[in-house]
Amino acid sequence: MASDRPGPDISGSGATRGDGVSPGSFSDLDPTERSRLARWSITRSVAAVVLVVVAYWVLPLEGLVGGPRTSWSYLRAGAAVLIALVVLVAQIKAVTTARYPQLRVLEGFSLAIPLILVVFAATYLSMSEFDTAAFNEPLGKIGALYFALTTMTTVGFGDIHPRSDPARTMVMVQMIVNFGVFGVASRVAYSAVQRRLDARNP
Protein backbone atom coordinates (compact mmCIF):
# COMPACT_ATOMS: atom_id res chain seq x y z
CA MET A 1 0.00 0.00 0.00
CA ALA A 2 1.53 3.31 -1.08
CA SER A 3 2.01 5.99 1.55
CA ASP A 4 0.29 9.35 1.05
CA ARG A 5 2.96 11.16 3.08
CA PRO A 6 5.24 13.48 1.06
CA GLY A 7 8.33 12.41 3.00
CA PRO A 8 9.76 11.86 6.44
CA ASP A 9 9.85 14.87 8.70
CA ILE A 10 12.66 14.81 11.23
CA SER A 11 13.52 18.51 11.21
CA GLY A 12 10.70 19.66 13.46
CA SER A 13 8.63 21.58 10.93
CA GLY A 14 5.68 19.23 11.36
CA ALA A 15 4.69 19.84 7.76
CA THR A 16 4.16 16.22 6.83
CA ARG A 17 2.17 15.23 9.91
CA GLY A 18 0.25 18.31 10.82
CA ASP A 19 0.83 17.97 14.59
CA GLY A 20 3.12 20.94 15.18
CA VAL A 21 6.64 20.51 16.41
CA SER A 22 6.01 18.21 19.35
CA PRO A 23 9.04 15.98 19.92
CA GLY A 24 8.60 12.28 19.34
CA SER A 25 10.34 9.23 20.64
CA PHE A 26 12.20 7.47 17.86
CA SER A 27 12.26 4.23 19.84
CA ASP A 28 8.46 4.27 20.22
CA LEU A 29 7.85 4.21 16.46
CA ASP A 30 6.81 1.01 14.76
CA PRO A 31 9.74 -0.83 13.10
CA THR A 32 8.70 0.12 9.56
CA GLU A 33 8.48 3.84 10.31
CA ARG A 34 11.67 3.75 12.38
CA SER A 35 13.54 2.06 9.55
CA ARG A 36 12.19 4.55 7.02
CA LEU A 37 13.26 7.56 9.08
CA ALA A 38 16.65 6.03 9.85
CA ARG A 39 17.35 5.38 6.17
CA TRP A 40 16.34 8.93 5.28
CA SER A 41 18.54 10.42 8.00
CA ILE A 42 21.53 8.25 7.05
CA THR A 43 21.07 9.19 3.41
CA ARG A 44 21.10 12.89 4.25
CA SER A 45 24.12 12.45 6.52
CA VAL A 46 26.11 10.59 3.86
CA ALA A 47 25.10 13.20 1.28
CA ALA A 48 26.41 15.98 3.55
CA VAL A 49 29.75 14.22 3.98
CA VAL A 50 30.07 13.59 0.24
CA LEU A 51 29.19 17.21 -0.56
CA VAL A 52 31.85 18.58 1.78
CA VAL A 53 34.54 16.18 0.53
CA VAL A 54 33.71 16.86 -3.13
CA ALA A 55 33.89 20.60 -2.48
CA TYR A 56 37.32 20.11 -0.91
CA TRP A 57 38.60 18.32 -4.02
CA VAL A 58 36.95 20.58 -6.59
CA LEU A 59 37.38 24.09 -5.18
CA PRO A 60 40.74 25.92 -5.57
CA LEU A 61 41.53 26.01 -1.86
CA GLU A 62 45.26 26.63 -2.20
CA GLY A 63 44.67 30.38 -1.84
CA LEU A 64 42.63 30.21 1.37
CA VAL A 65 45.38 31.68 3.51
CA GLY A 66 46.64 33.86 0.69
CA GLY A 67 50.30 34.15 1.67
CA PRO A 68 52.69 33.58 4.54
CA ARG A 69 52.96 35.76 7.63
CA THR A 70 50.31 38.37 6.84
CA SER A 71 47.54 39.47 9.21
CA TRP A 72 44.95 39.34 6.43
CA SER A 73 45.93 35.76 5.68
CA TYR A 74 45.31 34.59 9.24
CA LEU A 75 42.10 36.60 9.47
CA ARG A 76 40.76 34.75 6.43
CA ALA A 77 41.79 31.40 7.88
CA GLY A 78 40.21 32.33 11.21
CA ALA A 79 37.02 33.43 9.47
CA ALA A 80 36.79 30.05 7.72
CA VAL A 81 37.16 28.23 11.05
CA LEU A 82 34.59 30.54 12.64
CA ILE A 83 32.08 29.82 9.86
CA ALA A 84 32.52 26.09 10.41
CA LEU A 85 31.92 26.54 14.14
CA VAL A 86 28.83 28.65 13.48
CA VAL A 87 27.47 25.80 11.35
CA LEU A 88 28.09 23.41 14.25
CA VAL A 89 26.29 25.69 16.71
CA ALA A 90 23.37 26.09 14.30
CA GLN A 91 23.09 22.32 13.95
CA ILE A 92 23.02 21.86 17.73
CA LYS A 93 20.40 24.60 18.06
CA ALA A 94 18.25 22.83 15.47
CA VAL A 95 18.10 19.83 17.79
CA THR A 96 15.97 21.85 20.22
CA THR A 97 13.15 22.09 17.65
CA ALA A 98 13.54 18.74 15.91
CA ARG A 99 10.75 16.18 15.96
CA TYR A 100 13.28 13.37 16.40
CA PRO A 101 16.32 15.01 18.01
CA GLN A 102 18.38 11.82 17.98
CA LEU A 103 18.34 11.78 14.19
CA ARG A 104 18.91 15.53 13.99
CA VAL A 105 22.11 15.18 16.01
CA LEU A 106 23.38 12.56 13.58
CA GLU A 107 22.75 14.83 10.61
CA GLY A 108 24.19 17.89 12.33
CA PHE A 109 27.50 16.31 13.25
CA SER A 110 27.70 14.61 9.84
CA LEU A 111 27.84 18.09 8.31
CA ALA A 112 29.77 20.02 10.94
CA ILE A 113 32.66 17.61 11.60
CA PRO A 114 33.68 17.09 7.92
CA LEU A 115 33.31 20.83 7.36
CA ILE A 116 35.66 21.65 10.23
CA LEU A 117 38.07 18.97 9.00
CA VAL A 118 38.29 20.29 5.44
CA VAL A 119 38.60 23.89 6.62
CA PHE A 120 41.76 22.98 8.52
CA ALA A 121 42.98 20.76 5.67
CA ALA A 122 42.52 23.64 3.23
CA THR A 123 44.37 25.96 5.60
CA TYR A 124 47.32 23.57 5.91
CA LEU A 125 47.33 23.10 2.13
CA SER A 126 47.46 26.83 1.56
CA MET A 127 50.17 27.38 4.17
CA SER A 128 52.30 24.68 2.57
CA GLU A 129 51.70 26.18 -0.86
CA PHE A 130 52.99 29.62 0.15
CA ASP A 131 55.66 28.50 2.60
CA THR A 132 57.34 25.20 1.77
CA ALA A 133 59.07 25.24 5.16
CA ALA A 134 55.76 25.32 7.06
CA PHE A 135 55.75 21.50 7.30
CA ASN A 136 58.47 18.91 7.09
CA GLU A 137 57.28 18.08 3.56
CA PRO A 138 55.16 19.83 0.92
CA LEU A 139 51.46 19.05 1.31
CA GLY A 140 49.03 18.24 -1.47
CA LYS A 141 45.30 17.85 -0.92
CA ILE A 142 45.64 14.26 0.26
CA GLY A 143 48.54 15.09 2.57
CA ALA A 144 46.75 18.11 4.05
CA LEU A 145 43.54 16.16 4.63
CA TYR A 146 45.50 13.27 6.10
CA PHE A 147 47.35 15.58 8.50
CA ALA A 148 44.13 17.35 9.54
CA LEU A 149 42.44 14.00 10.15
CA THR A 150 45.29 12.57 12.23
CA THR A 151 45.33 15.77 14.27
CA MET A 152 41.55 15.65 14.77
CA THR A 153 41.64 12.02 15.87
CA THR A 154 44.76 12.62 18.02
CA VAL A 155 46.52 9.73 16.27
CA GLY A 156 49.60 11.78 15.37
CA PHE A 157 51.82 9.35 13.49
CA GLY A 158 54.49 12.03 13.24
CA ASP A 159 55.25 11.47 9.57
CA ILE A 160 53.90 14.96 8.85
CA HIS A 161 54.43 17.73 11.37
CA PRO A 162 54.55 21.55 11.43
CA ARG A 163 57.90 23.30 11.43
CA SER A 164 57.06 27.00 11.23
CA ASP A 165 55.45 28.96 14.06
CA PRO A 166 52.35 29.91 12.01
CA ALA A 167 51.77 26.25 11.15
CA ARG A 168 52.23 25.21 14.77
CA THR A 169 49.82 27.94 15.82
CA MET A 170 47.18 26.66 13.41
CA VAL A 171 47.65 23.10 14.69
CA MET A 172 47.13 24.34 18.25
CA VAL A 173 43.95 26.09 17.11
CA GLN A 174 42.71 22.83 15.61
CA MET A 175 43.47 20.99 18.85
CA ILE A 176 41.38 23.51 20.77
CA VAL A 177 38.57 23.25 18.24
CA ASN A 178 38.74 19.46 18.43
CA PHE A 179 38.30 19.65 22.18
CA GLY A 180 35.31 21.93 21.68
CA VAL A 181 33.70 19.67 19.08
CA PHE A 182 34.24 16.30 20.73
CA GLY A 183 34.04 17.48 24.32
CA VAL A 184 31.84 20.52 24.80
CA ALA A 185 29.67 20.29 21.68
CA SER A 186 28.88 16.60 22.15
CA ARG A 187 27.80 17.24 25.74
CA VAL A 188 25.69 20.22 24.70
CA ALA A 189 24.09 18.18 21.93
CA TYR A 190 23.31 15.36 24.35
CA SER A 191 21.72 17.82 26.78
CA ALA A 192 19.69 19.36 23.96
CA VAL A 193 18.36 15.94 22.98
CA GLN A 194 17.38 15.18 26.57
CA ARG A 195 15.64 18.53 27.01
CA ARG A 196 13.78 18.06 23.76
CA LEU A 197 12.64 14.58 24.76
CA ASP A 198 11.66 15.78 28.24
CA ALA A 199 9.39 18.33 26.56
CA ARG A 200 7.04 15.46 25.75
CA ASN A 201 6.13 15.27 29.45
CA PRO A 202 6.08 18.82 30.81
pLDDT one digit per residue (tens) for the chain, 202 residues: 444 444 454 444 443 333 344 555 666 777 788 788 888 888 988 998 899 889 888 877 666 655 545 555 667 667 777 887 787 778 777 777 777 777 777 787 888 888 889 889 988 888 888 888 889 999 999 999 999 999 988 887 889 999 988 889 889 988 988 887 777 767 776 676 676 666 655 5
Helix axis angle, 165-179 to 71-95, nearest 10°: 10
> Can you give the pTM of this predicted structure?
0.72
Give dist(CA 141, CA 162) in Å, integer. Answer: 16
**Domain segments of the chain as ranges:** 26-198
User: For residue 178, which of 127, 116, 87 has the smallest C-alpha distance?
Assistant: 116
> What sections of the chain are H helices per DSSP?
31-58, 71-95, 101-130, 141-152, 165-179, 186-198
pLDDT at 26: 63
- Looking at 3.30.540.10, 1.10.287.70, 1.20.120.1200, 3.40.50.300, the CATH number of the domain 26-198 comes to 1.10.287.70
